[in-house]
A and B are shown apart, each in its own frame.
Chain A
Amino acid sequence: MISEILQQLINGIALGSIYALIALGYTMVYGILKLINFAHGDVYMVGAFAGYFAVTSFHWGIMPAFLFAMVVCAILGVSIERFAYRPLRMAPRIAALTTAIGVSFLLENLGVIIWSPTPRAFPQVLPLKIYEGIYQRFGVIVNNRQLVILSVSIGLMILLQFIVNRTKIGMAMRAVSFDRETAWMMGVNIDYVISFTFAIGSMLAAAGGVLVGIYFNRIDPLMGVMPGVKAFVAAVLGGIGSIPGAMAGGFILGIAEILVSAFIASTYRDAIAFAILIIILLVKPSGIFGTLTREKV
């Protein structure tokens, strides 16, 4: 029983780290632009496909494929911002939100047209290895793919924390997030900071996409829809705009989903997982790490 609970926790952490990676992109864009970038889940899908083609068409290894996917998505993210959101920056927020939904559908359907909606098997670039020693001692199965997912996500999150808190561009990001106009008056190049934010957020989504391809071995053009919604919920749960919040939210959602199907009923997985989120938000409307004071009215 103990080993089963442990195993389920491991399953939950692996799933949660993917949600967390995607949630970071939502939260960063929201923190800076107060925009919910609904196209983010689809950027994640494009990342998975970029990784897929890097491996199958260019015959690259896993690391170059990762970098390629991140670069492709960074360019995509920056272009989405440049051509879809920037012209609307002075428009009411609802206009940008609607545009975000439009971009999301555009990417999904372009994916369906270009790549066909048939699911593809992601090439087995990372041969599976199960750690026998851990299994014999604790009765839980841990494989190298789970460790890769977890370590890549945590590594990227630490890197992100470093960029935001310790670098000049990070300081600019925080300044823009805190008060865009004042930051502008202080000489911060707003456009550059926003582009940078989109690039970073999209790179994280790309990493998530490639990791999912490796882990689940299946990609398709609509794969971003559900994870996109769930990562958004994770971001809200953690307190939208807060980077540690997005990470925590992702892990909590992943583990909650797994525990619900493990110990309550798999039939109600999403229903109960989302009910838990509603309860958390009722108790703390700004999310776990969110602060209401920073919101401008």
Chain B
Amino acid sequence: MKRFVSLIVVVGLLLTGVLPVYGAETIKVGLIAPLTGNIATFGQSVDKAARMAVDEINEKGGVLGAKIELIVEDNQGKPDESANIARKFIEQNKVLAIIGPVISSNVLAVAPIAQQSKVPLITPTGTNPRITQVGNYIFRACFIDDFQGTVMARFARSGLPKRANTAAILYEKTSDYSIGLAKYFKESFQSLGGKIVAEESFSSGDQDFSAQLTKIKGKNPDVLYVPSYYDTAGLIIKQARELGIMIPILGGDGFDSPQLAELAGKENLKDCYFSGHFFSGSSAPEVKRFVANYKKRYNAVPDMLGALGYDAVYMLADAIKRAGKIDRDAIRDALAATKGLKLVTGTITLDENRNPIKSAVIVGFDSNGNQVYKTTVSPPKK
């Protein structure tokens, strides 16, 4: 027995001691994404596109002569699970950098860990402003809630067929993402001269929104803002239409999933719009190439989550190249200096808070529930 234990100890020591030496030949990057769970399509999109980006880079000889090795773990969309995976990535896998997690509440659980260990982290899609405030090792590839909420408020005031003077908000009180979007939508809608007539909330996992929606209906707003992910947004849209609420329903990038049409019902998506990072039908050469390659590889059209996952990998590769060495601190500095980098979701320049400054698109739906491009909104001039 004693011999057995010592054998395990020796093997363990060997493994931990030897592996990093071999690991130096590849650049290890950890990807944390919800591959299962309520928001599984988000994670699957990011995962597929990130793998594609890594393979593309490796086919061209990798970065600084080293191949990128992508280690993927499923966090099921849970904050605690995300934190466990981040610790495992840092302590066991000894990754150079982390990409992910996908949704804001998960990123907020991981960011302090990455910051403490000084491991650069790029969330492809976490839009909550607090994320990059955690520290100088935390980056993102997407714009922030601030901008998303503002864009939608502007769209409600001037982009809709019928100008909205009053708005109602229905948000998820247990989601940082939802609270953030609701807050910024409210502020800009009011500053643009609109009036918020109802502000209702629900908890994660709720299925019945009839009470809140009935209350909102009584206030008779011109537009309803639902900053929520597709799984609940689908239910809300369906129940709203069934209660006879026919006003435009607006949302954020959380609407971007093929499942939205299934859950809400195609016919109910009439007059629904959301702000997004990318539109697959765009004519920009970067987008065209990405969409064509993705189609060839997965036989599907990428969504914006995929586009951001793809961009996050390229952001990292670009920074490693500019850093000139495989070193976490040098890569952090290079990432922070990212400027004018042309990617699928637009030209990325990071501001002093490590948030990209780039444009947003507004997407609507046709009668078959397919996404249609509405307009592009440029970032605010500073």
By a beta-carbon cutoff of 8 Å, the part of chain A in contact with chain B is: 1, 4, 7-8, 11-12, 14-15, 112, 116-119, 121, 124, 128, 130, 135, 141, 143, 212, 216-218, 220, 223, 225-226, 257-259, 261-262, 266-267, 269-270
Q: Is the CB of A218 within 8 A of B214?
A: no
CB neighbours (8 Å) of B211 from chain A are: 8, 11-12, 257-259, 261-262, 266, 269
Is B17 located at the chain interface by the 8 A CB criterion?
Answer: no
28 A–B contact pairs at CB < 8 A?
A: A1-B218, A4-B215, A4-B217, A4-B218, A7-B214, A11-B210, A11-B211, A15-B208, A116-B36, A117-B36, A117-B37, A117-B38, A117-B40, A118-B36, A121-B234, A121-B262, A124-B265, A128-B242, A130-B242, A130-B244, A143-B242, A218-B263, A220-B38, A257-B211, A261-B212, A262-B212, A262-B214, A269-B211
Q: Is the CB of B231 within 8 A of A216?
A: no
Complex CA–CA separation, A275 to B218 (angstroms):
27
Q: Which residue of A lies closest to B208 (CB)?
A: A15
Most buried by A among B37, B205, B214, B262: B214
From residue B178, how far is it (CB to closest CB) to chain A in Å?
13
Q: Which residue of B lies closest to A262 (CB)?
A: B211
Is B116 located at the chain interface by the 8 A CB criterion?
Answer: no
Is B243 located at the chain interface by the 8 A CB criterion?
Answer: yes
Q: Is the interface of A mostly helix, strand, loop or mixed?
A: helix
Complex CA–CA separation, A14 to B239 (angstroms):
13
CB neighbours (8 Å) of A212 from chain B are: 207
Instruction: Bin the interface of chain B by size.
Output: 20 to 34
CB neighbours (8 Å) of A118 from chain B are: 36-38, 40-41
CB neighbours (8 Å) of B37 from chain A are: 117-118
By a beta-carbon cutoff of 8 Å, the part of chain B in contact with chain A is: 36-38, 40-41, 76, 173, 200-203, 205, 207-208, 210-212, 214-215, 217-218, 231, 234-235, 238, 242-244, 259, 262-263, 265
A226-B205 contact given A112-B36, A117-B76, CB 8 Å threshold: yes
Q: Is the CB of B235 within 8 A of A266?
A: no
Most buried by A among B36, B211, B235: B211
CB neighbours (8 Å) of A8 from chain B are: 210-211, 214-215
Q: Is the CB of A262 within 8 A of B215?
A: yes
A217-B244 contact given A4-B218, A119-B38, CB 8 Å threshold: no
CB neighbours (8 Å) of A15 from chain B are: 208, 210
Complex CA–CA separation, A266 to B40 (angstroms):
27
From residue B212, how far is it (CB to closest CB) to chain A in Å?
5
CB neighbours (8 Å) of A130 from chain B are: 242, 244
CB neighbours (8 Å) of B173 from chain A are: 267
Complex CA–CA separation, A234 to B238 (angstroms):
27
Among A116, A121, A141, point to the contact of B263 (Cβ < 8 A).
A121
Among B36, B201, B205, point to the contact of A267 (Cβ < 8 A).
B201
From residue A217, how far is it (CB to closest CB) to chain B in Å?
6
